[in-house]
Amino acid sequence: MTLHIERARTRRPITWLTLIGVLLLPVLIGGILVAALYNPAERLDNMSAAIVNEDEPVTIDDQLVPLGRQLTAGLVEGSDEIASNLDWTISNAQDAAEGLADGTYQAVVTIPDNFSAAATSTAPGGVPEQATIEVSTPPDSKVVDDAITAQVTSAAASILGTQLSEVFLENVFLGFTTLGDQLGEAAGGARQLADGAAQAADGAAQLPGGIAQLGDGASQLASGAGQLGSGLDTIASGTGDAANGANQLAAGLDTAAAQVNNQELVGAAQATATYAATTASQTAGVAQSVGGLAQTLGGLAAECLASGASQAFCHEVGAAAASAGTAATDAVAAATSAGYTSGYAAPTAAGIQQLTSQTSAGLTEAATQTRTLAGGLTQLADGNAQSADGARGLQSGAAQLADGATQASDGATSLAGGVAELAGGTSTLADGLDQAATALPSYTDSDATSLAAVVADPVAAEGVGSSLFGASAVPLLATLALWFGGLGTFVALQAASRRALTSRSPSAALALRGFAPAAALGAVQGLMVAGVVQLAASYDGGRWSLFAALCVIAGIAFAAVNQALVAVFGGAGRWLAALVGVLAVATGVVSTVPGPLADAAALLPTAPAYNGMLAALTDAGGLGAAIAGLVIWAGLAFIATTIAVARRRVARPNDLLAASAAPA
């Protein structure tokens, strides 16, 4: 069955099969693009990747830390951020290289042997080093394969790094608490040290006076030691003389012992006894005579005054009587003593005989002991002489001590100042430690864990999708499908009627006659593309309805623009249409395109279609402006097509010659 629609580049009529092909073109384009590119993160298991773990675990605090194994497990298990995961194979270096070369693996992740050591190098005493992993892809890898592999690997490495950072920061925060406690203790110790230093400063201030007194005492000691040396010299000399005297005494005692032991002393004792007896007898007679004389004088004295003698003479007679009485008394006493002497003299002679014998032996022993004494005195003299030398040495040392005490007094003065400064500085240190202890934060174990988790990952991005292409993928793919659908429409249909020169219809009507079927096809194409998108993305009814309406409007507008391009530029119009599609793809994938290209793309008819669809499916604004832009493009395109048709209705000489030459 044929239709009254002109076919491009041939006079053969359009069939329903042609129209179905035109309708299916954008559906196939859109379906293939959406099926292949929409949300590839949900199909990551179609990619195969190998893990080569060459890491050597380390031991920290007697605990094995195999971070390479942990990262391998993280890659294989995947994460919550990505819906699916790659098909991982734990392999070795040779198998991974061969698989990468023959296409078995689309990526290879190599964990080096120093991974654990580098990742834990932030521990105290270590040299900080960043742990790295190597990601390799084949030279012929797909465009987005590298990005997908990098995202998955980076997610696992980031999670492991965050865990390590949390452990490190938790220890740091707990270390703050411990450090604060220790600083508090240090401040208390410094405070005590400051008090002790202040007391020491007071004592040190008194020390110079004491040392000065020590110097004075040492000077006096030196003087006394000199005098002691001189005295000891004198004592040593005297002790020597005493030793000589003791020797002489011993000799004398020997002589006395020899002299005591004879009979002369005994005879003298006996003669004494005889003499004492005679004396006693004579003294008794004298006593009687003197006693009588005393009585006579006493009587004369009593009668003297009566006889008329002078008082002076009587006084002298009385005195003589008294003296005679005293003499008589003394004579009696002497006679008594002589009698006693006579009584003792005989026994004394016998005792002297015995005493002389004993005295001789004692004197001999005394002589011996005296010689011993002489030897001891000689040793004492020598010792005193040595003591005198020692005293003179003490004098020299005391003099040096006095000099040293003077220097020590000066040093003690400096010490007192230094200790005072130490006390002040230690007090300042204590204040500073108190401030530091107060300034340092204190955390419990749970607080440190929570804070470490936040600090290790301080910024979290919410609302970030994981589809790798974002929410704009569907509007871009739908726009491209409809644009190339419009291009395909005017590959099959005639943009400007061939009967324009002979037709009596207005140019606008002729332009509308070519646009109407293309607009209908564009509207149907829009609905079909929207249906394919809904099958893949499953939007809610309201958003999809708005999106479908935008697809219909875009399909109609794109039909008008492609008609105008072909009508105005002929075959070059199709080339320009293809260029518009390529520019829309180039500027819609990434925002890093050069400014001139982005500015040019913003002026193309694909820009309002993309913006409108994006506004329909997301919270982006500009829906009204997008619809207005599509309507304006459609109107301008129809005007351009009408002008192109009108130009075809002007006959040129060459066209008339060609028409006349044609067979009837």
Q: Which helix (H) or strand (E) holds 97?
A: helix 93-102
Question: Boundaries of CATH 3.40.1710.10 in the chain?
Answer: 43-173
Output the six-digit token pair for 138: 């084949």
pTM: 0.50
- pLDDT of 663: 46
Q: For 317, how many CA atoms within 13 A lie in the half-sphere containing its CB?
A: 18
Instruction: Quickly name the fold that domain 43-173 has.
Output: abc type-2 transporter like fold (3.40.1710)
**What's residue 550's pLDDT?**
93
**CA distance between the termini of the chain:** 27
Q: Which residue is it, tokens 């950072």?
A: 165
Give the number of C-alpha atoms closer than 13 A to the C-alpha of residue 385, restricted to the C-beta side: 10
How many Å apart are CA 408 and CA 204, to the nearest integer? Answer: 12
From residue 601, how far is each of 279, 485, 584, 637 by CA, in Å?
A: 180, 19, 6, 17
Place of tokens 């249909």: 493
pLDDT at site 37: 55
Separation between Cα atoms, residue 613 and residue 623, nearest integer Å:
8
Closest CA to 495 of 426, 412, 562, 588: 562
Mark the ranges of the chain whose per-residue pLDDT is less than 50.
1-3, 459-466, 468, 659, 662-664
CA distance 89 to 110: 12
| Distance of alpha carbon 254 from alpha carbon 258, whole angstroms | 6
* Residue in 23, 177, 161 with CA at minimum distance from that of residue 526: 23
Output the pLDDT for position 632: 95
Residue 181 tokens read as 């406690």
CA atoms within 13 A on the CB side of 510: 25
Report residue 384 as tokens: 């005193």
How much is the pLDDT for 26? Answer: 65
pLDDT at position 459 is 46
* Res 460: pLDDT: 41
Burial (Cβ within 10 Å: 0-12, 13-18, ≥19) of residue 579? exposed
